[in-house]
Amino acid sequence: MVRPTQFLHPQREPAPVRPAATLLLLRDTPAGPQVLMTRRSDKASFGAGAYVFPGGRIDDSDAQAHAIAKRRATQSDVQLTQAIAALRETFEELGVLLAHHADDGRPVQAAAVAAMDRSTADGTTSFAAQCARRGLLLATDQVFTFAHWVTDRDLPKRFDVPFLVARMPEGQVPVADETEQFEPVWVRPAEALERHKAQRFRMMFPTVRTLERLAAYATVDAVLTDCDQEQPLFTSCPRAGLLDGQEARYMEHELPYGELALVCPDGQIVHALDWQTDTPVALLRNLRRLTAPNPSAMTGPGTNSYLVGDETTGYIVVDPGPLDPGHIRRLHDATAGDIRMIVCTHSHADHSPAARPLQALCEPRPPILGLPSAPTARPNARFTPDRALVDGEHLVLEGPTPETTHTLRVVHTPGHAANHVCLVLQEDGLLFSGDHILNGSTTVVDPPDGNMTAYLDSLDRLDDVCRVGGADFILPAHGYAIASARDAIAALKMHRFRREARILEAMREHPDGTPEDWLPIAYADVPQRMWPMAARSLAAHVARIRERALA
């Protein structure tokens, strides 16, 4: 866990969340499913003027109304209360009621719904009382959870909201209450997204992302079938940063999310996400990132050089980068030349060549640390450090207080390269992963210097390091910081095993084939322009398969 003293911004407590529920009413059309949406009042305190799904806060009365609701065998009390709240809000706002008569199961008719009081202002006209008096059971067994959203941490009003789905009852027509909601409209998800992009249909971020997921379905049945597991298809509490000077929001699976969690854990919108190479980007008080100007398909936005430390301790430079004079000068200037150590995670041409020129600019000259390249390294990836790092050793920047001491633990991680190492900033739970773990792509494992078995074993070791050391964030050599380190490692390992299974299947289908024959089959989901790089990792997988006699 990051030391509170290292945060760049004073932390504040986000607003508490309140329970709420919203309902996506769906109907089939020849062009695909439509969803019922409505425009919020321009005077609303939350989402004013935005098109939304009907819904609102969960009241105490909703939890007390289970007697008028039909429950699935697997539906929990919480889910039942959420469904009741969503149906109540939909009735109050749009005059639509999903219910049937308890005695014979007949669906409630539109005329009967229209005769009910939608204001539900007191106990005699409460929603539950009206349903009970008419002998109606709410069709809550037909309401399923599609998504689960928690309002962003930066907003003054926050809600914990399941986005529920149900089929629109036949014969009923939505009529807005003209107080909270206006202009009910049926719209296909893709159409709503197109209108929103054209700025003709304003929607909030969770609405947009929910519609993006919903747009993939061809029928209402397909939606409901996918939701019949009593679990949301996805859960998110978004985070926001600044991109081109504008607020930009991201979900957990998106590339900038982890960096926002690291820099602004409380949700403040102050961190710029624009990639730039002129000046270092501050991530913590003791951590800055300077990205080299070498973007490419292999390096993403460029190679990240990290500056660990502060002006009281001096600095450790992790991965000085390619042989770029401007980048080398900027690293020197950012540290005022007070570099105590230069560490190279491995010997590839975008990581280690800047080490010697940077060292020459400093006085006294800092040692260059790492592992020497193996005989298997390519000619452009030769590297000899001043001293070879020992697995498990500590590189310490000693400060005047414990809060200003920074300790990097060395972890040998062969796989991407035979001489690859990772580093853990122990006081703050940060893993510098070099090229072993990247944000936005998987690393290339290129034999003979790369070895897939060693790579996977090193992933296991990093997972154990994170578990024992409480490392929550990964600082990769390419891309933004990554949150939930152990989850990211598990997902990466699973991706590798799935890819290996595809390669093995291709090998079994074509036992006399060559790697060139297997590549289009095993990497059919990868753009062809990436196949030359994918071929290297395929070769590493094939070697592992043959070593393990799996084919």
- The CA distance from 534 to 537, in Å, is 5
pLDDT of residue 52: 95
Beta bridge partners of 35: 26, 187
> Within this chain, do residues 448 and 510 fall inside the same structural domain, yes or no?
no
- Among 248, 271, 294, the domain boundary falls at 271
Nearest to 479 by CA among 326, 254, 263: 254
Beta bridge partners of 410: 423
Give the CB-side neighbour count of residue 12, counting CA atoms within 13 A.
11
DSSP letters spanning 55-115: EEEPPHHHHT-GGGB---TT--HHHHHHHHHHHHHHHHHH----EEETTT-PBPPHHHHHT
- 383 is a domain residue: yes
**3-class DSSP state of 250:** strand
pLDDT of residue 182: 87
> Within this chain, do residues 305 and 429 fall inside the same structural domain, yes or no?
yes
- The CA distance from 386 to 366, in Å, is 10
- 8 is a domain residue: no
In total, the chain counts a number of residues equal to 551
Rounded to two decimals, the pTM is 0.93
> Within this chain, do residues 131 and 183 fall inside the same structural domain, yes or no?
yes
**3-class DSSP state of 455:** helix
> Within this chain, do residues 322 and 452 fall inside the same structural domain, yes or no?
yes
- 9 is a domain residue: no
Nearest to 67 by CA among 138, 134, 121: 138
Helix (H) or strand (E) segment spanning residue 200: none
- The CA distance from 194 to 307, in Å, is 43
The total number of structural domains that make up the chain = 4
Task: Supply the angle between the helices 452-469 and 531-547 in degrees, to the nearest 10.
Answer: 90
174: its two tokens? 């939505």
286: its two tokens? 């003791």
How high is the mean pLDDT of the chain?
95
> Within this chain, do residues 145 and 184 fall inside the same structural domain, yes or no?
yes
Sign of CA dihedral 289, 295, 297, 301: positive
Over its C-alpha atoms, the chain yields an Rg (Å, rounded) of: 28
Do residues 334 and 291 touch, judged by C-beta distance below 8 A?
no
**3-class DSSP state of 541:** helix
- 388 is a domain residue: yes
> Within this chain, do residues 263 and 233 fall inside the same structural domain, yes or no?
no
> Within this chain, do residues 206 and 337 fall inside the same structural domain, yes or no?
no
Reported as a single tens digit per residue, the pLDDT across 56-79 is 999 999 999 999 999 999 999 999
Nearest to 421 by CA among 430, 412, 409: 412
pLDDT of residue 550: 52
- 298 is a domain residue: yes
> Within this chain, do residues 263 and 224 fall inside the same structural domain, yes or no?
no
> Within this chain, do residues 284 and 216 fall inside the same structural domain, yes or no?
no
> Within this chain, do residues 419 and 503 fall inside the same structural domain, yes or no?
no
pLDDT of residue 402: 81
- The CA distance from 551 to 545, in Å, is 6
Average pLDDT over residues 153-169: 96
CB atoms within 10 A of CB 47: 17
Expressed as residue numbers, the domain containing 21 is: 17-237
Do residues 407 and 395 touch, judged by C-beta distance below 8 A?
yes
- The CA distance from 71 to 467, in Å, is 41
Torsional class of 439: left (φ above 0), alpha (ψ -120 to 50), beta (otherwise): beta
> Within this chain, do residues 249 and 196 fall inside the same structural domain, yes or no?
no
- The CA distance from 50 to 234, in Å, is 23
Reported as a single tens digit per residue, the pLDDT across 493-539 is 999 999 999 999 999 999 999 999 999 999 999 999 999 999 999 99
Average pLDDT over residues 128-134: 94
146: its two tokens? 């599609």
Reported as a single tens digit per residue, the pLDDT across 404-450 is 999 999 999 999 999 999 999 999 999 999 999 999 899 999 999 99
Within 8 A by CB and 6+ apart from 55, the residues are 20, 21, 22, 23, 85, 86, 89, 90, 161
- The CA distance from 372 to 166, in Å, is 62
Bridge-based pairing state of the strands 99-101 and 55-57: unpaired
- 319 is a domain residue: yes
Sign of CA dihedral 180, 183, 187, 191: negative
What CATH number corresponds to the domain at position 402? Answer: 3.60.15.10
Please state, for a pLDDT cut of 90, what percent of the chain lies above it: 91
Say yes or no to pLDDT of 285 above 50: yes
Do residues 358 and 338 touch, judged by C-beta distance below 8 A?
no
Within 8 A by CB and 6+ apart from 532, the residues are none
Burial profile 516-545: b = 16 or more Cβ within 10 angstroms, e = fewer: eebbeebbeeeeeeeeebbbebbbbbbbbb
> Within this chain, do residues 421 and 521 fall inside the same structural domain, yes or no?
no
Within 8 A by CB and 6+ apart from 141, the residues are 70, 71, 72, 75
Do residues 264 and 270 touch, judged by C-beta distance below 8 A?
yes
Do residues 33 and 220 touch, judged by C-beta distance below 8 A?
yes
250: its two tokens? 């991201």
pLDDT of residue 121: 46
- 2 is a domain residue: no
Nearest to 135 by CA among 173, 86, 99: 99
- 537 is a domain residue: yes
pLDDT of residue 124: 56
Say yes or no to pLDDT of 155 above 70: yes
Say yes or no to pLDDT of 551 above 50: no
38: its two tokens? 């409505």
Bridge-based pairing state of the strands 17-27 and 34-40: antiparallel
Reported as a single tens digit per residue, the pLDDT across 312-366 is 999 999 999 999 999 999 999 999 999 999 999 999 999 999 999 999 999 999 9
